[in-house]
Amino acid sequence: MSGTPRPRYVSVIGPGDADDETYGLAHEVGRLVAVRGGVVVCGGLAGVMEAAARGATEAGGVAVGILPDEDRRRVNPFLTHSVATGIGQARNLAVVCSADAVIAVGGGYGTLSEIGLALKVGRPVVALRGWDLGEHVAVAASPEEAVERALGRPGA
């Protein structure tokens, strides 16, 4: 087979303990990805992961959570589907491999590892707040710009 399967998947990564502003940004990113017909992928837990899943599913879209634990039950309640990997922090690799593009909202060490893994396996990364990694990561000033950089201009 060839070609990226439709719909496009966007992983939204960020810390599990987001403040209100970061939560709001991630929620809006999730919503916009869903409105554009994309699937939101996330780490399945709280904070940015929850906000993005919530934004997507409240807008009628789909959110897939990829969990570190062996158990699918420890999960935020806004996921359409959840996958329990049992591999701990190594699930970060699955979170980014499953994406066509990655949007990082806010910082955190797990997020940093996901940015590194995404770049290593060739996924484009857009940052909305958080780690400043120079030329390696596109920086967006708003959720709209982040999603546009991840999915391209609407209709383009």
Binding site for a second copy (CB under 8 A): 1-5, 9, 39, 41, 62, 64, 66, 69-75, 77, 81-90, 92-94, 97-98, 100, 109-117, 119-121, 131, 133, 136
Point out which residues pair with 40 in neighbouring strands: 10, 63
Q: Shortest Cβ distance from residue 81 to a second copy (Å)?
A: 6
User: What is the closest distance, in whole angstroms, from the C-beta atom of residue 12 to a second copy in the complex?
Assistant: 15
Of 44, 51, 50, 37, which Cα lies nearest the Cα of 8? 37
The CB-side HSE value for 3 (13 A sphere, CA atoms) comes to 3
CA–chain centroid gap for 126, Å, is 10
**How far is the C-alpha of 9 from the C-alpha of 121, rounded, in Å?**
15
Report, in this order, helix, strand and coil percent for the chain, each rounded to 5.
40, 20, 40
Residue whose CB is less far from a second copy, 22 or 82: 82
Residue 55 Cβ vs a second copy, minimum distance, rounded to whole Å? 18
Nearer to a second copy, 22 or 92 (CB): 92
Query: Which CB, 26 or 117, lies closer to a second copy?
Result: 117
* Residue 77 vs 155, nearer CB to a second copy: 77
